[in-house]
Structure 1
Amino acid sequence: MGENESSVRSLCQQDKNMAYQKVNADQRAQGHSPYLDNDELQATALELEWDMEKELEEPGFDHFRLDGAVQHHLGNSQSPDLDLEPIQPSSSPKGRFQRLQEDPDYVSHYTRQAPKSNRCSFFQILKVFCTALILFIFGIVMGYYALKKCPSPLTSQERNNPHVYHEILKEIKAENIKQIYRDLLQFPGEDDVDVAMKILVQWSSQGLEDARLVNYSVLLDLPGSSSNTVTLKNSGECFYPSGQQCNRETKTLHNQDLLYSYAAYSAKGTLEAELVDIQYGTTEDLIRIQAITNVTKKIALLKLGQSPLLYKLSLLEDAGFGGVLLYIDPCDLPKTTDLDDKAFMVSLNSGGDPSTPGYASIDGSYRQNRLNLTTLLVQPISAVLAKKLVSLPEDTVQKDSCIPLQLPATGKKVISLNIQSVSTYKTISNVIGYLKGTVFPDRYIIIGSHHNSLNTYGGQEWASSTAIITAFIQALMLKVKRGWRPDRTIVFCSWGGTSFGNIGSYEWAEDLKRVLQRNVVAYISLHNPVRGNSTLHPVASPSLQQLAAENPSFLSEALFPVHTTKTEELDPTFSLHETIAKLTGQVTLQIANEPVLPFNALDIALEVQNSLKGEEVDIPQLLTVASHLRDTAELFQSDEMRPANDPKERAPIRVRMLNDVLQSLEKSFLVHQVPPGLYRNILYRLDERTSQFSVLLKALEQCKLHQSNETIQAALSEVLNSINSAQVYFKAGLDVFETTLAGKK
């Protein structure tokens, strides 16, 4: 009997260890100490055993679930739930109580219904398979036709193929340009933002995907409420700038023309003084006049031409003049041009917003108080009024010869000059559109035109230039839709505020100064493309002399009313517009797609040597440095340019290095300070008659005028350092190429 009880007690102890280990684990997890005394442990085990026996004896055991036990969250535990295997109930051999253990045969006792099967029948599987197969075949067919219609991207050789250029340029047609031109002129008298918005809509409708408006708030000098006047004190006659006498009928007849015959940013007020004829305002003219009379606070009668207007005005201001009357001598105009009775507008702004010199007019920029850019009272007048002032008959132009206007030496003319204008801040808008390149998207070729909102002033050339650039965009986008894209990015620009001194282009350049300095390859200007039936006037940098010729004119300084320069009278069939558009397109496509930029380094070196010829500039140091520049350029041309043009030797890294050198070579010729109206790039000449560096010529004139050689020495140093910098730049480029090739070998 004792043995039986002992064996039973032993068996019970085994069952306790097996069945209640989860309970003990739960107790430990709920915060009970694992270090309980044996008596407490046995008491706890007996109580749990008794409770379990009572529960298992209750009916409904076959529906017993341990879901609650398995899913029970240990609220006091800071550790994750214990990973215990599922526990199933079964009967003990003795039948005295139920114990918990793994029982593979429990499935026969477990009465919970099994989950419903989700397996598909054979026909369902076949149905799904057939549907998927049909969809797959349909997708292949659709993809085939989609790829067949979608143009494949062109290779680099296909993009550079002259046949591709021809296909693009043949889409530029005179009738399209004419229609665009007429559409632009349907909205006269609108402000700058409205005109820019219409251009933006046109460009976007052609398919240019990245086009936007860029706005700047700038200081403009607008005409006053009444026209400026010139009064002869001897006779008391009052004249408007056009030469018409002051009366109410004339004022109401051409009110806008009268108001906009003024000089923007001129000094304001009234000046009564003697009129002095200084012809073209050259240093020789000033020396001659100053030897005769005192010019302080007097009014100069000045002809446009021979030198930049701003440069001549700076000389007159230094000499002490108080006012200036500007006019164009009829003898300087083509015989087919009749502008005698037409006054015009000029701007005395050298470029950009006058209130933010050197930085962009963005929100938060400091605004300087620069309402007047000169102390001179400046007023443009017509040739008719100039003839009245010099007391000559109006018919001074003979059939075979022309008599230049000149104030008689005898007699003294005193006039009263009254000038009024209003300075105000206005918003001007640039239209900028991008056609992204595929190979070198970070290299930009910029094509610039301008739009005008000065009522009737500025002529219609703004619509001509905008129509040309829009027609080129139209032709390009037709090719882009068929899969073509340029290698380099082409940027299309229509500048606002041009009539007041190229404000829009200057502000955009100052805003993106660092990006443009690094990325711009070339700039092509369509500022005034059609000037008549005489000569084409493209403007290009010296490194692009093989693509275009430079031939500017002083007439670009004067803005005439629209009815004096009707484009449709100059080019009624728009064939000249078509020619200029195709020439612009050809040049742009070459620069945008040629693997090696079509810039000629040797041309620049020869240009420098030619500019140093002559008796005025005969400095041994300059000639020596120019000779070294030519030698280095010849070596660069022969060793690097020619191999790079061979497709077999066009290693991508080598072409990129070569283009970087060519792109930046002209930056060496930028000088820090130049006289007003002159280019900072010493390679840019003022006109076709000037062969020497303009900076040196103007410095020589200053020496003659002020009897000092300080100015010429400073100019010579600028030119000398520029040429030497270019020579060092070429030499450094050659060294880099040699080092790279040696490293590869």
Structure 2
Amino acid sequence: MGRLEEKAAPFLPRIPAQPIGYGEAQVILKYLGGNEVPADWRGILSNVAYRYGGELLNSSSIEVKSFNRLERRDTYNVIGIMKGEIEPDRYIVFGNHRDAWSLGSVDPTSGTAAMLEITRVLGEMAKNGFRPRRTLMFCSWGAEEYGLIGSIEYVEEYVKVFGARIISYLNVDIAVQGNHTVDIKTSPLLFDIIVEASKLVPSAYDPVGKTVYDKWVDFQWNNVTNEPKIAYGLGSGSDFFGFDQLVGSSNIDATYMFDHTYYKSLSSYALYHTSYEVFAMMKNFIDPNFTAHRTMGQLMGVVALFLSETPVLQFNVSRYTIALREAMKNLKPNNPEALDPLRQAINDFGATANDFMRRSKLIDFENPFNIRAYNDQLLQLERAFLNPLGQGGDYTDFKHIVFAPAKGNQYAATGFPSVSDAVATGNSREIDSQVAIATYFVRGALSTLKEFDNFFS
């Protein structure tokens, strides 16, 4: 495979950067002589006036010694496959990266532990005669922390294979960062499968008989829809990115989370990516009995078996209608009528999705060819939302027109990101252009749900 010369790679760093702790930052900030920043730019370090920079007070200087090196290293992906007995050309893929910033007891080793336990259990089942209906793949990725290198390289090399065959990618990067409840981000198509799986798995650190679903009822419940709160869209923060944006499969990322109502200011666990992230941290502060690890292994294992063993995939296409409408509600152009073409396309999508579900009840699922044809329509739906050109410029890998990172936030997923970016500019011509593109792909997606001999009506 061809490679760029290092000097020709525009994304390699040219300016040395050195992470520092809060203690060092507090001292340095006290020496800054620039103007004070606005209130919404200020942090919470004590006895510090937050300033833009400027010259250091008292003609002071700072010496930074960095021992980072730019060098070429080899990294490896480790792939295990349990071949499906009936549909070996349909894949359910588990994945987690193996590299860490330090010892990584949470990120990524909690996920590695959960994935290895799942493979151990499936291995025991295989000894007793179990063979999955569809192929199960287990992927330990290299170099995730350096830019998702291992998974992206693998997906790019085999994107045509995955594009034709994969059903779902299940990501277990940070499997456990708390012991309160399970937090999931997913494709809308998998919502119902996740809910059904959650009803079968015990919740960690709760009374016997209480399930993950029961815990959601208590703490992550949507009183409007009378359902658990499960976020749609995965962003770019882990190895699901290639499967989301280049392959177009329907994917999941899950973690056992701490209580956000108590730790309101924390976006992630306190010692994230530090040298303190060791086994003792996990054992003493996060998951003393490792029951959260067990719950995550059981939950993701049950989801995988639902996907691999159910002859008819339990994807719910009507969930995408809800997701599309929610995503559009968050778009606030100065002229709301600019969204009318997209709004009409989403309404038409909803009608087509309802018709698809009505027709599915009439299918003879005793016929394996009917099952295969129905399942293939479900798989084509998510892929139909991929724009081969992406968002253009430096953002060609952001291909999913409904859920992808926006240019203003390249980490999290945004609904209709290209339209959102256009709205942020206020440029009416750009807004109209991006609405037209989104409308085109929504209509393309709904055509995949129509009858085979009448997809163009």
Normalised by the length of structure 2, the TM-score is: 0.68
Alpha-carbon distance, 1:461 to partner:
3.1
Alpha-carbon distance, 1:416 to partner:
6.1
Q: Secondary structure at the match of 2:77?
A: strand
Aligned counterparts of 1:377 and 1:599: Cα–Cα separation in 2: 47
Task: Summarize the Cα distance change of 1:652–1:709 in structure 2 as closer, same or farther, 3 Å threshold.
Answer: same
Correspondence 1:21-36 to 2 at 5 A: none
Correspondence 1:56-205 to 2 at 5 A: none
Residue of structure 2 in register with 1:635 after alignment: 355
CA contact (8 A) 1:465 1:527 kept: yes
Which residue of the other structure, out of 407, 416, 430, is the alignment partner of 1:693? 416
Residue of structure 2 in register with 1:344 after alignment: none
Residue of structure 2 in register with 1:735 after alignment: 454
CA deviations over 1:552-573 (Å, ceiling 9, x no partner): 7964996322447822231010
Residue of structure 2 in register with 1:673 after alignment: 390
Residue type at the aligned position of 1:370 = A
CA contact (8 A) 1:529 1:537 kept: no
CA contact (8 A) 1:613 1:692 kept: no
- Computed over aligned residues only, the root mean square deviation of the Cα atoms, in angstroms, reads 3.5
Q: Secondary structure at the match of 2:75?
A: strand
Aligned counterparts of 1:615 and 1:538: Cα–Cα separation in 2: 24
Aligned counterparts of 1:633 and 1:615: Cα–Cα separation in 2: 23
CA contact (8 A) 2:110 2:293 kept: yes
CA contact (8 A) 1:524 1:539 kept: no
Matched, 1:482 2:131: no
Task: Summarize the Cα distance change of 1:493–1:692 in structure 2 as closer, same or farther, 3 Å threshold.
Answer: closer
Correspondence 1:228-307 to 2 at 5 A: none
Q: Secondary structure at the match of 1:507?
A: helix
Task: Summarize the Cα distance change of 1:365–1:563 in structure 2 as closer, same or farther, 3 Å threshold.
Answer: closer
Alpha-carbon distance, 1:532 to partner:
1.6
Which residue of the other structure, out of 144, 163, 172, is the alignment partner of 1:517? 163
Alpha-carbon distance, 1:444 to partner:
0.4
Alpha-carbon distance, 1:608 to partner:
0.8
Residue of structure 1 in register with 2:22 after alignment: 383
Aligned counterparts of 1:403 and 1:427: Cα–Cα separation in 2: 39
Task: Summarize the Cα distance change of 1:499–1:692 in structure 2 as closer, same or farther, 3 Å threshold.
Answer: closer
Q: Secondary structure at the match of 1:670?
A: coil
Task: Summarize the Cα distance change of 1:699–1:636 in structure 2 as closer, same or farther, 3 Å threshold.
Answer: same
Which residue of the other structure, out of 345, 369, 375, is the alignment partner of 1:625? 345
Q: Secondary structure at the match of 2:418?
A: helix
Alpha-carbon distance, 1:616 to partner:
0.8
Alpha-carbon distance, 1:709 to partner:
4.5
Matched, 1:587 2:234: no
Task: Summarize the Cα distance change of 1:559–1:689 in structure 2 as closer, same or farther, 3 Å threshold.
Answer: closer
Q: Which moved more, 1:571-580 or 1:413-422?
A: 413-422
Task: Summarize the Cα distance change of 1:610–1:482 in structure 2 as closer, same or farther, 3 Å threshold.
Answer: same
Residue type at the aligned position of 1:561 = S
Which residue of the other structure, out of 281, 289, 292, is the alignment partner of 1:576? 292
Alpha-carbon distance, 1:452 to partner:
1.7
Alpha-carbon distance, 1:692 to partner:
4.2
Matched, 1:550 2:236: no
CA contact (8 A) 2:189 2:319 kept: yes
Residue type at the aligned position of 1:605 = T
Residue of structure 2 in register with 1:500 after alignment: 146
Residue of structure 2 in register with 1:426 after alignment: 73
Which residue of the other structure, out of 416, 419, 436, is the alignment partner of 1:717? 436
Q: Which runs of 5+ in 2 are unaligned?
A: 32-41, 195-229, 238-266
| Structure with more helix by fraction | 1
Q: Which runs of 5+ in 1 are unaligned?
A: 1-361, 393-401, 739-745
CA deviations over 1:154-186 (Å, ceiling 9, x no partner): xxxxxxxxxxxxxxxxxxxxxxxxxxxxxxxxx
CA deviations over 1:425-469 (Å, ceiling 9, x no partner): 221111111111111000000000121265x35444322212211
CA contact (8 A) 1:542 1:683 kept: no
Residue of structure 1 in register with 2:91 after alignment: 444
Task: Summarize the Cα distance change of 1:588–1:452 in structure 2 as closer, same or farther, 3 Å threshold.
Answer: same
Aligned counterparts of 1:512 and 1:411: Cα–Cα separation in 2: 47
Residue type at the aligned position of 1:631 = A
Residue type at the aligned position of 1:383 = Y
Q: Secondary structure at the match of 2:92?
A: strand
Q: What is the total number of aligned residue pairs between the two structures?
A: 357
CA deviations over 1:307-364 (Å, ceiling 9, x no partner): xxxxxxxxxxxxxxxxxxxxxxxxxxxxxxxxxxxxxxxxxxxxxxxxxxxxxxx4x5
Residue type at the aligned position of 2:353 = A
CA deviations over 1:264-311 (Å, ceiling 9, x no partner): xxxxxxxxxxxxxxxxxxxxxxxxxxxxxxxxxxxxxxxxxxxxxxxx
Task: Summarize the Cα distance change of 1:534–1:513 in structure 2 as closer, same or farther, 3 Å threshold.
Answer: same
Task: Summarize the Cα distance change of 1:521–1:582 in structure 2 as closer, same or farther, 3 Å threshold.
Answer: same
CA deviations over 1:248-273 (Å, ceiling 9, x no partner): xxxxxxxxxxxxxxxxxxxxxxxxxx
Q: Secondary structure at the match of 2:352?
A: helix
Task: Summarize the Cα distance change of 1:680–1:374 in structure 2 as closer, same or farther, 3 Å threshold.
Answer: farther
Residue of structure 1 in register with 2:327 after alignment: 611
Residue type at the aligned position of 1:729 = T
Aligned counterparts of 2:340 and 2:115: Cα–Cα separation in 1: 47
Aligned counterparts of 2:154 and 2:63: Cα–Cα separation in 1: 37
Alpha-carbon distance, 1:517 to partner:
0.8
Aligned counterparts of 1:416 and 1:700: Cα–Cα separation in 2: 42
Q: Secondary structure at the match of 2:72?
A: strand
CA deviations over 1:187-212 (Å, ceiling 9, x no partner): xxxxxxxxxxxxxxxxxxxxxxxxxx
Task: Summarize the Cα distance change of 1:413–1:365 in structure 2 as closer, same or farther, 3 Å threshold.
Answer: closer
CA contact (8 A) 1:445 1:521 kept: yes
Normalised by the length of structure 1, the TM-score is: 0.43
Residue type at the aligned position of 1:504 = G
